[in-house]
Amino acid sequence: MEFLIDYGLFFAKSVTVLVVIALVLALIASNKQKISGQNKGHIEVKNLNETFADYTDAIKSVVLDEAQLKKEHKDKQKQEKQDRKAQKKSTEQVPERRKRVYVIDFDGDIKASANSSLREEITAVLGLAESQDEVVIKLESGGGMVHSYGLAASQLTRITEKSIPLTVCVDKVAASGGYMMACVADKIVAAPFAILGSIGVVAQLPNFHRLLKKNDIDYEMYTAGEFKRTVTMFGENTEKGRTKFLEDLEKTHVLFKDYVQEHRSVVDVDKVATGEVWYGRRALDERLIDELKTSDGYLLDQAQKADIFRVEFTQKKSLPEKLGFAAESTLDRLLVRWLSRVQSKRWF
């Protein structure tokens, strides 16, 4: 028992030293970055056709025998030679280029934090994309704040306003604010069991008024404007305030329904705007989507006739962020190791 107490104290001291060092280094690095004003991110582009080809080559290298591999190599060289000759002959006429597909990932949380990356990625793509190309958004989101997802949907309209085809692929979920984004697309493709819909608005908050009153604690709030606050967490909510709050929710719901109807006129909005969700197959019946297919299947099909590029805005992590992540990982590992040894009654 005494050893366990000594070890616990040693562990606590070690953790404290690590945290203090990390905080000091983070403070120094933060000050340096403020002075330098460095750019925090950049665009990265990856050719997915090459990635798919690498996968295929890796399988062939194991599955095919040596004679088959040699034949494959000769056929490939022959085809490349023919392509070069055809290109030389077309000196007077500019050859038509292949379609380009630009792929952007959006993984949404309740605040639609990926908005900052999405705007940069779309700006980068719009600098080159043309009407013969296509933008594919791989969307995963269960929704969140109205204004945040309204902005995300507006970012996607920048693509359609340029007359560039927009496709949204949903593998898991595009509900509520996520579906608000998806309905902007010219085409929505979803996996058979992806969750879609939830065209509704929800708000909830606890109220501690009775608890405060029971303990003789006063809560005072001053506002200018009759409905500056309708319901609160600590004050006594009135029927008038609740009624106004519900009216505001209903207005937001109407805006949501109108938005879906504007961008996806094939949908019977009154039928689907009940807050319900549908799995992919049922969503297709309700015309919430256009096709059942995973994003992987859709992109692999496109690779036969188009050049596919994954576009990502990569945030440059500051040294404080890196140190914080490293310190967190170290603490996690130490805690896991300590708990495992305590549980198994083994010590250092």
- The winner for highest mean pLDDT among 9-13, 39-43, 280-284 is 280-284
CB distance 319 to 193 below 8 Å: no
Q: Give the closest residue to 163 by CA, choosing from 190, 199, 126, 191.
A: 126
The answer to the question of residue 241 being in a domain is: no
CB distance 295 to 171 below 8 Å: yes
Q: Count of alpha carbons within 13 Å of 272, Cβ hemisphere only?
A: 30
Task: Supply the DSSP symbol for 286.
Answer: T
Give the residue carrying structure tokens 């197959």: 281
For the chain, state the CA radius of gyration: 28
- The model's pLDDT over 209-223, given as tens digits with 9 standing for 90+, comes to 899 989 999 888 888
The answer to the question of residue 298 being in a domain is: no
The answer to the question of residue 281 being in a domain is: no
pLDDT of 15 > 60? The answer is yes
Is 318 in the active site? no
- The model's pLDDT over 90-134, given as tens digits with 9 standing for 90+, comes to 555 556 789 999 999 999 999 999 999 999 999 999 999 999 999
Residue of 117, 176, 198, 295 marked active site: 176
Q: Which residue has the higher pLDDT, 317 or 218?
A: 218
pLDDT category at 346 given cuts 50, 70, 90 is: very low
Residue 174, beta-bridge partner list = 141, 196
* DSSP 3-state of 196: strand
* DSSP 3-state of 109: coil
pLDDT of 66 > 90? The answer is no
- Containing structural domain, residue 13: 1-40+317-348
Q: Count of alpha carbons within 13 Å of 25, Cβ hemisphere only?
A: 15
Mean pLDDT, all residues of the chain: 85
pLDDT category at 347 given cuts 50, 70, 90 is: very low
Q: Which residue has the higher pLDDT, 295 or 232?
A: 295
The answer to the question of residue 300 being in a domain is: no
Is 228 in the active site? yes
Q: Which residue has the higher pLDDT, 107 or 66?
A: 107
pLDDT of 83 > 70? The answer is no
The answer to the question of residue 107 being in a domain is: no
Residue of 88, 214, 228, 345 marked active site: 228
The answer to the question of residue 348 being in a domain is: yes
Cα separation, 277 vs 284, in Å, equals 12
* Token pair belonging to 12: 């606590």
Q: Give the closest residue to 315 by CA, choosing from 109, 116, 28, 106.
A: 116
Kindly report whether the global pTM for this prediction surpasses the value 0.85: no
pLDDT value, residue 319: 55
> What average pLDDT score do residues 130-143 get?
97
pLDDT category at 33 given cuts 50, 70, 90 is: low
Cα separation, 227 vs 222, in Å, equals 12
- The model's pLDDT over 240-261, given as tens digits with 9 standing for 90+, comes to 999 999 999 999 999 999 999 9
Cα separation, 194 vs 175, in Å, equals 10
Cα separation, 253 vs 276, in Å, equals 13
The answer to the question of residue 6 being in a domain is: yes
pLDDT value, residue 247: 94
Total count of domains within the chain: 1
The answer to the question of residue 347 being in a domain is: yes
